Structures are given as C-alpha cells and as structure tokens.
Amino acid sequence: MNETTKTKRLWSDFERSIFTGKGIDIGCGPDPVNDSVRHFDMEHGDANRITNYVHDVFDFVYASHCLEHMHEPTKAVLEWWKLVRCGGYLCFIVPDEDLYEQGVFPSRFNHDHKATFTISKQKSWSPVSINVLDLANSLPGGQLVRLILQDQGYDRSILKHGPGASNRFFQFIVRIYNKIKRHTGIGVSMFERLANRLSVIDQTLRPDALAQIQCIVKKVA
C-alpha cells in the first residue's frame, strides 16, 4: 500500500509545515511525500551509502518504510542525517515490530526486512530490534521533536503474536483475496471473518490501517 498517502491523512499543521522547501524522499517509489521533492530510490543508488550519490543538503529528508531494508540501519540513518541542513528535519517511518511482524522474525510479510523497530523497550523478542528513541537520540546535533506510534485502523483483537502461524496455503489465498479486493473494491464479509479468526494478517494491506512509528528529528547544531 501507499503508506505515505495513508500517513499524510493524519498529519497536523506541524508536519505539513516542515515538509516544504527543498527536500529528498528516500525510497519513495510511486508515492512521494510531495510533488516537488527529489526522488531517491534503487535506480539512483544505494541508500545505505547515500552520500556517495547525493552531494547536497536539504530542508527536510523523508523516508517512509525504507530504513528497515537497510543492511545497517543505525549507520544508514547517520548517512541520511548528513543530508539535513542546520535547522532542517529528518523524518523516518518504520513498521512497529509488535503490530507488523507480530512476534516473528524474519518477517512473514516482507522477507527483505533487515531489522525490526520499537519506540523503546528494555528487551525485545526480536534478535534485530532497534529502539527508535535511542536511534533518534544518537543523531549528533539532533533534537527529537516527534515520536509517535501510528496505529489508526489497526484491529488489535485479531493480532496473533508469535510463531503460531496458520496454514501457508490459507495465507496464500488471503493474499490473493486482498489483491482482488484492492483492485475491484468487492469484498466477502463471511470470508473476511474466517480469515481474521484463522490467519495471521498483514493489516497494513488495508487502505485505512497503519502499524508504524513516525520519528521527526530537527538538526539544531
């Protein structure tokens, strides 16, 4: 799904005010944060080492659901931070490990995820968990201005935490059903109730559901 489009529906005047001026959207795909932003995706280079390809600074650097694909997220975000001018902002959005991965790594829903994320925990079930609060506070000259869990539209009553996944074939049928529903707008309520009861669901495939953490850091020095 277009997570940036879904996220923008929640933004306050503050978020809308900082994504103006000169910006770059890392890993934007077909869903950039605005029409004027500079795009940076796989065809433009390796976002793990973005300063090898981008020799500029920006009023804002934005990355939605990209950091979890980086080989070393803590090093990658420091690279992205170098692109932020003094007074500018870095905003990154990552899946919440409990709502998205639901207690299983490697991720059942995206096998390219290299890490999982939580706002802050002393201990995580994930062997590759990163505390976003610690990550934000590690940015030199940074001031954390917003760190929030965005779970609008997420139904915790059908969350299934842990490795007890349902039948793989049924999971495949559910994925096909969701694709057909997205393209046609036609759903079958009885099937959806059965799927909710029996399967582990990627709820972010729904047009109104989020399972993510949004972090915004201002560069003050």
The CATH number assigned to the domain holding 139 equals 3.40.50.150
Please indicate, yes or no, if residue 13 is contained in any of the structural domains.
yes
Please indicate, yes or no, if residue 215 is contained in any of the structural domains.
yes
- Angstrom distance (rounded) from CA 206 to CA 193: 14
pLDDT (average), residues 78-85: 98
* Containing structural domain, residue 78: 3-154+204-219
Among 95-109, 128-142, 168-182, name the one with the lowest average pLDDT.
168-182
- Angstrom distance (rounded) from CA 166 to CA 68: 25
Q: What pLDDT score was predicted for residue 46? A: 98
Mean pLDDT of the chain: 92
Please indicate, yes or no, if residue 178 is contained in any of the structural domains.
no
Judge if pTM exceeds 0.85. Answer: yes
Judge contact between 133 and 213, C-beta under 8 A: no
Domain count for the chain: 1
pLDDT (average), residues 194-217: 86
Q: What is the DSSP letter of 18?
A: H
Please indicate, yes or no, if residue 198 is contained in any of the structural domains.
no
* Burial of 59 from C-beta contacts in 10 A (0-12 / 13-18 / 19+): middle
Torsion of CA 54, 16, 213, 177, to 10 degrees: -100
Please indicate, yes or no, if residue 185 is contained in any of the structural domains.
no
pLDDT tens for each residue of 139-196: 999 999 999 999 999 999 989 888 765 556 666 777 787 788 778 877 778 776 666 6
Query: How many Cα atoms are found within 13 Å in the side-chain-facing hemisphere of 192?
Result: 10
pLDDT (average), residues 78-104: 98
